[in-house]
Chain A
């Protein structure tokens, strides 16, 4: 069975500092990995995805993610956090059969001024 795990329920960062939100995956075959962000009372917004190719994927709002096959990780990063980045972040893997997304538990990012 495929799965993703987000080991941290909450990440706290000071504005201007780099941020990392962790995600590890367990899949059979090649992983297709996604990051989404959810602002309060809003839907999920797509940030970026890894399909194949470069291990460093750049996405929306200055976010990037690093795919590491040996560590089965796909951590989300941003060099300089903004207060407006405070939200819930979800890592997901696309299911081999049927195309549904399998989500991690979510990580609440809090960026303080």
Chain B
């Protein structure tokens, strides 16, 4: 598609439950990035993919977070055993390439609320 699509728009989970978020990048884009926006302003990078391969996972809290990008499927970000501090908006972005000049295009985000 022409835009990055993210589902669901909103997700409510009780503490300790699992949360799974999905992202469909723009058609033809090889790179997918996940960011977490907390406290309205602060953006934190989580992980990036080149096609189905992890490119950079330096931002991932590995004990509870995992992500995948499989061929012919939306990418996913999964949080096992959610905690209150996971409440945030999770954005997916895609870009054509990895070069520093490439623009990342963002989806509308998934708002996760952990109660």
Contact = CB atoms under 8 A, between A and B. Distances in A.
B-side interface size class: 20 to 34
A99 B31 contact: yes
B101 A98 contact: no
Interface in B82-115: 91, 93, 95, 98-109
13 contacts: A34-B103, A34-B104, A43-B4, A49-B103, A88-B40, A88-B41, A90-B43, A98-B58, A99-B55, A100-B59, A101-B33, A101-B43, A101-B104
Interface string A100-113: 11110110000000
A51 to B, nearest CB: 4
A100 B104 CA distance: 9
Most buried by B among A42, A44, A103: A44
Nearest to B50: A99
Interface in B21-77: 31, 33, 35, 40-43, 45, 48, 55-56, 58-59
A43 B107 contact: yes
Contacts of A102: 45
Contact of A101 (B45, B101, B109): B45
Contacts of B101: 32, 49, 51, 94
A110 to B, nearest CB: 15
Interface string B6-30: 1000000000000000000000000
Interface in A37-66: 42-46, 49, 51
Contacts of A82: none
A96 interface: yes
Contacts of B6: 43
10 closest Cβ contacts across the A-B interface?
Answer: A98-B56, A106-B41, A103-B43, A44-B106, A32-B100, A100-B45, A43-B106, A43-B108, A94-B100, A51-B101
A99 B106 contact: no
Residue of A34, A101, A105 contacting most chain B CB atoms (<10 Å): A101
Contacts of A42: 108-109
